[in-house]
Structure 1
């Protein structure tokens, strides 16, 4: 990828250039194996080193306690919408869901197939905020409490870890802000994330699960979604997504070289402040609908023109693309513009976008 292109895709998303270059060489021959990294047997010593290294990077970066298992599974975040209740719902038969956007809404709908789902707060008319804690209704007998840390479609992000009743496991979908900030893993029962947004390519989902939550799945739980079976087999119950796991290991090694999660957090704050600054200084020409306290550092969404003018937004997207600012179209369900600024997006990428936004404003503001 050339320096003249900035790729703001929400996922599969940009990968660090130096990681791509290394992977390019390994596609033909991995180290001294004489075969491609994609051809390695998942039972081989060489792949054992790859998956163990990837797990080690996860544990080191997140400071994962010893009583947690790290799993590499298939099915994406959507697969975990079912895996979570299939593994945890048996505790009490009911679960609490915080629905703050499209992905948590889909997760709650899926979970309702396996038990009673309680919405912690009433359904929101628009996904632009996180309701005040005083409005939450948490069930102390819930099998778990579920939330999505960052909603990629609507650009809503929790800037804190929700407090839940003592003894109730907290489950979090971190797919789109995974490894972008330090996390106290001990506050969670399960953390998961699809790799294709912040830590790799599509095809693998990383699950971090506390050991005491293993071993009590619902009878209908498929073996491939059973955390206990996957943990016992070290993610090798079936053929895992070998190449995708390798990419995760390499991206996380890059994160470590760059300064770890503290540095990723510093950068994400810097990048998002730049973009929101242009939006807030535009006197309404650009508009972000999300409450300031819930604005995402990963997915900056906005409309162009008062109320969002489709023709103006189409021009914005096409003119941006002509300057190498790619994949800025908002999700089809909400429209508008979305700039996804995950770890691999540099400050220079964001500066280029900000400069374009200012220029576009001057040329189009009435």
Structure 2
């Protein structure tokens, strides 16, 4: 049986966690803070739990330079359940309610007609933004969902590009737009936005590149991400939400009015105002998962000079270093073909094919990688191929070992071709 230091895992999620965090976790599971009680057994409303919550929020503010929680320019940091898929729905529930509340401050009559103009703008650049747009259409009707861009229409029916912004078709009137939605990094398709797009009421899914580079938080109405990629364990979703779209700085439409107009009323556990008002403790929060996230964030802070802001820049440099190393090896050999366009290659999820998608060659690659302790490299079931997930907890040494294997495998395949092998 291999030891943990003999194996390097490149799976897309749940993803690796830093070994020191897991070692400490094994201790607090049995006895947290010398209480004689394990961390999964403490009350989520206890002083210990509140301290864990405050510490994790504080770390995240420093890492991403998130404005403090007070005032209309502030941002709330919330921990929810339901994963990124839950937030596909939550953003619709909240932003539609907010849009309607703003409308009713201007008009009291003819709301049925005005609601017909409402639009939710979606940038569809991969599998996850596609799913989000489909959920929005399910909740409010496809007539309200405007696909600003669909990358498949620019790439022979496949994802792998982000079309130029001058080809996008955003809704004509900003006042009609309840939200503009994009997925910053498409895990399945290996596509990452070089920078945040523009659009009214901007909402971002950052599940798979969260805490891997600086983010212009102030440009967004809301940012969310599942924790299980770069932050922690499966079980919590992190949302960063502007006070400007939360009470008392904004109104929310009454549920009776929403129903009357045929618009959805969301479940209370996905309701951002409720979660924010209760500091993420409306229902039982999995405090152990918040603790894990806080420990991961603290490690990132400890690795970054205190005079830097945002503090995530040190990790960003390491993420770039690993990605550049791996892409340089892939680009140097005809054995490999990187799937997405060079201009939008993800630093987190490196998607490739071997010998143009040769099934036997890809099986041989995976088998050889596994024999060397390089695991989790199989592509998503919907697209196949190979996927290298280069998350924060993948150390530079692991990327270097994989880079050497990529070189050796390519040399072996090229040698076989020269000898007439198939």
Task: Compute the TM-score of the two structures, normalised by the length of structure 2.
Answer: 0.84
Within 5 Å, give how 1:237-252 maps onto structure 2. Answer: 237-252=282-297
Match of 1:107 among 129, 132, 152: 132
1:302 is the counterpart of 2:369:
no
Question: Can you give the 5+ residue segments of structure 1 that lack an aligned partner in the other structure?
Answer: none
CA distance in 2, matches of 1:113, 1:362: 50
Q: CA deviation at 1:38?
A: 1.0
CA distance in 1, matches of 2:146, 2:202: 14
1:142 is the counterpart of 2:170:
no
Tell me the alpha carbon deviations over residues 19-69 of structure 1, each in whole angstroms, 9 at most, x when there is no partner: 111111111101121111111110111111001111111111111113111
Match of 2:197 among 162, 171, 181: 162
Tell me the alpha carbon deviations over residues 315-362 of structure 1, each in whole angstroms, 9 at most, x when there is no partner: 111110110001100000010100101111111101100111111111
**Residue of structure 2 in register with 1:28 after alignment:** 30
Runs of 4+ in 1 over 4 A off after TM superposition: none
1:280 is the counterpart of 2:308:
no
CA distance in 2, matches of 1:71, 1:350: 33
**Residue of structure 1 in register with 2:57 after alignment:** 55
**Residue of structure 2 in register with 1:199 after alignment:** 231
Match of 2:17 among 15, 18, 28: 15
Tell me the alpha carbon deviations over residues 203-231 of structure 1, each in whole angstroms, 9 at most, x when there is no partner: 00000001121252673111111000000
Q: CA deviation at 1:175?
A: 0.3
Match of 2:84 among 73, 77, 82: 77
Max Rg structure: 2
Q: Is the 8 A contact 1:174 1:191 kept in 2?
A: yes
SS in 2 for 1:143: strand
Match of 1:329 among 378, 390, 406: 378
State the number of aligned residues. 361
Task: Compute the TM-score of the two structures, normalised by the length of structure 1.
Answer: 0.96
**Residue of structure 2 in register with 1:87 after alignment:** 94
1:64 is the counterpart of 2:66:
yes
Q: Is the 8 A contact 1:69 1:231 kept in 2?
A: yes
CA distance in 2, matches of 1:65, 1:27: 33
User: Taking structure 1 as reference, are residues 343 and 217 closer, same or farther at Cα in structure 2, changes over 3 Å only?
Assistant: farther
